[in-house]
């Protein structure tokens, strides 16, 4: 995850509270059973952990953000700061679950290897992340804005958005059997508009610029994507594309 990115639970709730709600179908795909030990990888402030706990699971959460983990612990959840590229668990979980977090982890093979290690034999890995083409209009505008300022916009990208074939290959090479993997568009309304979304998620780009340049840069990004992401009613949506998968550790 990019060092420039920070997470403020209050801002996150306001600008991106939809993330957990829209993750509920991933919980359905997981089909959690009462008593199962489940790891929530990239648990954030723990909203979906709470859901899993309410379903009778024993849930542990990990996240890179100390602020988000503090918010999860304040809800009485078992959550701890950990680097997802070096998970400290061995044969501890019936399932690993992840919603809207894996695309922040730029060494996917290290993450998948740690997930395989953390699972009991036969354990499930079920998740959803941004897939190929995710937020493409926003990415193009952010990259172009940095390029125009003489910087390498692509080098600032903090996200990994794989195709199903690529992610399937990584899972299979790590000893998983993939039982489902799908890529689908999910245009997503933004409750606080594009600027709220950018404030929460685009810090890796603004961090490359002096503070005085942030507002003009974000104005340009907004103007570039307005024709495709702003509706006639003035509401904004983001051009999300999801990669959703379920796999079982068989190797
Ligand atoms: C996503 O959930 O797809 C996402 C969220 C923030 C930045 C990039 C992608």
Task: Please list the pLDDT of the chain residue by residue as tens digits (251 residues).
Answer: 456 788 888 888 888 888 888 999 999 999 999 999 999 999 999 999 999 999 999 999 999 999 999 999 999 999 999 999 999 999 999 999 999 999 999 999 999 999 999 999 999 999 999 999 999 999 999 999 999 999 999 999 999 999 999 999 999 999 999 999 999 999 999 999 999 999 999 999 999 999 999 999 999 999 999 999 999 999 999 999 999 999 999 98
CA-CA distance, 67 to 8, in Å (whole number)? 7
C-alpha 130 – ligand 1 centre gap (Å): 6
Query: How many residues are present in the chain?
Result: 251
Which of 6, 11, 135, 162 to mutate to test ligand 1, by most ligand atoms within 8 A of the CB atom?
135
| Distance of alpha carbon 158 from alpha carbon 99, whole angstroms | 17
Q: Which residue has the tokens 């998968």?
A: 245
How many angstroms separate the CA atoms of 246 and 98, rounded? Answer: 11
Write the residue with the smallest CA distance to atom 6 of ligand 1. 201
DSSP states of 87-136: ---SS-EEEEEEES-GGG-S-HHHHHHHHHHHEEEEEEEEEEEE-TTTTH
Ligand 1 atom, smallest distance to 100 CA:
2
In angstroms, what is the span from residue 250 Cα to ligand 1's centroid?
30
Partnered with residue 41 across adjacent β-strands are: 62
In testing the pocket of ligand 1, which one of 7, 12, 129, 134 has its CB within 8 Å of the most ligand atoms? 134
Predicted TM-score of the model (pTM)? 0.95
Angle between helices 66-74 and 9-16 (to 10 degrees): 80
Ligand 1 site, CB within 6 A: 100, 103, 130, 134-135, 159, 201, 240
On whether the CB atoms of residues 79 and 22 are closer than 8 A, the answer is: no
64-to-44, 101, 108 alpha-carbon distances in Å: 9, 10, 15
Structure tokens at 53: 């706990």
**Helical (H) or strand (E) element with 79:** strand 78-81
Phi, psi of 133 (to 5 degrees): 90, 0
- pLDDT tens per residue across span 125-180: 999 999 999 999 999 999 999 999 999 999 999 999 999 999 999 999 999 999 99
What is the distance in angstroms between the CA of the first residue and the CA of the last residue of the chain? 28
């Amino acid at each position: 995850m990019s060092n420039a990115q920070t997470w403020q639970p209050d801002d996150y709730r306001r600008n991106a509270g939809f993330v957990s709600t829209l993750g509920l179908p991933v919980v359905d795909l997981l089909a959690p059973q009462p008593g199962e030990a489940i790891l929530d990888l990239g648990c954030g402030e723990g909203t979906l952990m709470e859901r899993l706990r309410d379903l009778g699971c024993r849930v542990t959460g990990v996240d890179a953000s100390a602020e988000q983990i503090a918010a999860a612990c304040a809800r009485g959840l078992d959550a701890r700061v950990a680097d997802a590229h070096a998970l400290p668990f061995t044969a501890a979980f019936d399932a690993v679950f992840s919603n809207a977090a894996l695309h922040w982890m730029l060494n996917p093979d290290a993450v998948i290897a740690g997930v395989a290690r953390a699972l009991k034999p036969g354990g499930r890995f079920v998740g959803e992340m941004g897939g190929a083409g995710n937020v493409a209009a926003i990415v193009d505008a952010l990259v172009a804005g940095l390029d125009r300022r003489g910087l390498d916009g692509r080098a600032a990208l903090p996200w990994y958005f794989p195709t199903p074939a690529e992610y399937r290959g990584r899972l299979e090479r790590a000893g998983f059997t993939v039982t489902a993997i799908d890529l689908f568009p999910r245009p997503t309304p933004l409750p606080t508009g594009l600027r709220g979304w950018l404030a929460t998620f685009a810090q890796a780009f603004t961090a490359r610029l002096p503070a005085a340049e942030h507002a003009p840069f974000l104005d340009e990004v907004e103007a570039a994507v307005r024709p495709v992401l702003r509706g006639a009613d003035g509401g904004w949506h983001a051009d999300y594309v999801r990669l959703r998968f379920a796999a079982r550790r068989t190797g």
